[in-house]
Structures are given as C-alpha cells and as structure tokens.
Amino acid sequence: EDQVTQSPEALRLQEGESSSLNCSYTVSGLRGLFWYRQDPGKGPEFLFTLYSAGEEKEKERLKATLTKKESFLHITAPKPEDSATYLCAVQAKVSGGYNKLIFGAGTRLAVHP
C-alpha cells in the first residue's frame, strides 16, 4: 500500500536554529514528491516538486532533497514567519493514469524569536 510518513509531528526551533523535516514514503511507481506549506485556516501552498533520487531544490531558507526512500526539507536559519505546517505528498501511478496525491500528516513547525 502506498504510504507517506512525516516526522517529527511537531518541531519547535529558536530563530536561526537550522533543522530538517523528514518524509519517508513507500510507493509503487513514484512520479513525483511534493512539499507544501500550510498556514492555519488556509489551503496548502506549493513549494517544491522532486522527481528523481539525488535531485535538490532550493527556495530562500528551504532546501528539499530526495532519495529512493525519503525526502528531507532542510530549513536554514529559520525565522518566525517560517512557522507553518509542512506537508509532503507523493504522486503515484494509479489505474487510468490519474494523478492522485498521497499526503503525509505533516510537521507543525514553530519558530520562536
């Protein structure tokens, strides 16, 4: 069964304290791995897509990496405005070729000044 597991469930950081969020997945026929940011009361906001092991993407203080079994979202010198829930999702090939995302439960990040 296709599955996505994110850890930790919650993470508290001091401003400037770098860390990493983990997304482990088991999926047959990975077509892409996605990172989203979700602020309270809002829909998820797209951050990155990774397609193959070894790929890396960067955006401001965030860098996403991908291996054959997991992805990491590295946060360098975080600021309070980086506080949000970070969601990981994988896109697997399903019958009929439909693009269905399978989401993890997310990591709630709180960055304190």
Give the binding site for other proteins (CB under 8 A).
4, 6, 31-32, 34, 36, 41-46, 49, 87, 89, 91, 94, 96-106
Task: Please say which residue, 54 or 97, places its beta carbon nearer to other proteins.
Answer: 97
Q: How far is the CB of 46 from other proteins (least distance, A)?
A: 6
Task: Please say which residue, 71 or 91, places its beta carbon nearer to other proteins.
Answer: 91
Task: Please say which residue, 89 or 111, places its beta carbon nearer to other proteins.
Answer: 89
Secondary structure (H, E, C), the chain: CCEEEEECCEEEEECCCCEEEEEEEECCCEEEEEEEEECCCCCCEEEEEECCCCCEEEECCEEEEECCCEEEEEECCCCHHHCEEEEEEEEEECHHHCEEEEECCCEEEEEEC
Q: How far is the CB of 108 from other proteins (least distance, A)?
A: 9
